[in-house]
């Protein structure tokens, strides 16, 4: 187990805890037109995990995993449409996607040494090495955990 994985487990666990019990309406509620919904943020977290892990392993993704990886950037750091529509974003799908991403990334983040020297393109564009990738992956869910708190405490957030 690495320091990266200890941090990732802690902050990702808190992020997952903030999703517990949310309804589909709450997952899809948008604070303002340019913000992510909680459901989109959750898929984005998984998307970055899939995107980085696939690059580190020099693997191609297909099907659902490829769509999830697109959520690392599409509709988040650019003006493209988010790869999942509101009608698709349910707690069942979000849980499935987060579980898939965790299973894909966990072996790498727990034993990062073999991947540290690899270069990948980060979600924000710069080329980073594996150590930089793991540092970003370790804290990334915490950023979105804070977003979930801000969104879910907004005055008009749905109660059910």
Structural domain count, the chain: 1
Residue 160 located in a structural domain: no
Q: Which whole-number Å values give the CA distances from 121 to 16, 43, 55, 125, 128, in the listed order?
A: 26, 19, 8, 6, 6
The answer to whether position 109 is within a domain reads yes
- Domain-embedded: residue 58: yes
Q: Tell me the average confidence (pLDDT) per consecutive run of 10 residues in the chain, 160 residues long.
A: 96 98 98 96 98 97 98 94 97 98 98 97 92 97 97 97
The answer as to whether 158 is a domain residue is: no
Q: Are 53 and 65 in contact (CB under 8 A)?
A: no
Inside any domain, residue 159:
no
- Residues spanned by the domain of 46: 3-152
Contacts of 115 (CB under 8 A, 6+ apart): 56, 57, 108, 130, 133, 134
In a domain, 103, yes or no: yes
Q: What CATH number did the domain enclosing 53 receive? A: 1.20.120.450
Query: Quick one: pLDDT at residue 123?
Result: 84
């Amino acid at each position: 187990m690495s320091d990266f994985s200890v941090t990732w487990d802690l902050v990702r666990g808190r992020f997952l805890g903030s999703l517990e019990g949310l309804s589909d309406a709450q997952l899809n509620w948008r604070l303002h037109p340019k913000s992510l919904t909680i459901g989109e943020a959750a898929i984005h977290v998984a998307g970055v995990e899939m995107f980085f892990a696939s690059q580190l392993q020099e693997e191609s993704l297909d099907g659902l995993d490829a769509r999830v990886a697109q959520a690392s950037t599409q509709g988040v750091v650019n003006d493209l449409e988010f790869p999942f529509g509101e009608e698709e974003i349910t707690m069942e799908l979000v849980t499935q996607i987060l579980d898939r991403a965790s299973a894909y990334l966990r072996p790498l983040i727990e034993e990062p040494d073999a991947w540290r020297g690899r270069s990948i393109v980060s979600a924000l564009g710069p080329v980073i090495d594996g150590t930089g990738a793991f540092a970003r992956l370790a804290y990334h869910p915490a950023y979105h955990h804070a977003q979930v708190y801000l969104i879910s405490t907004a005055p008009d957030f749905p109660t059910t």
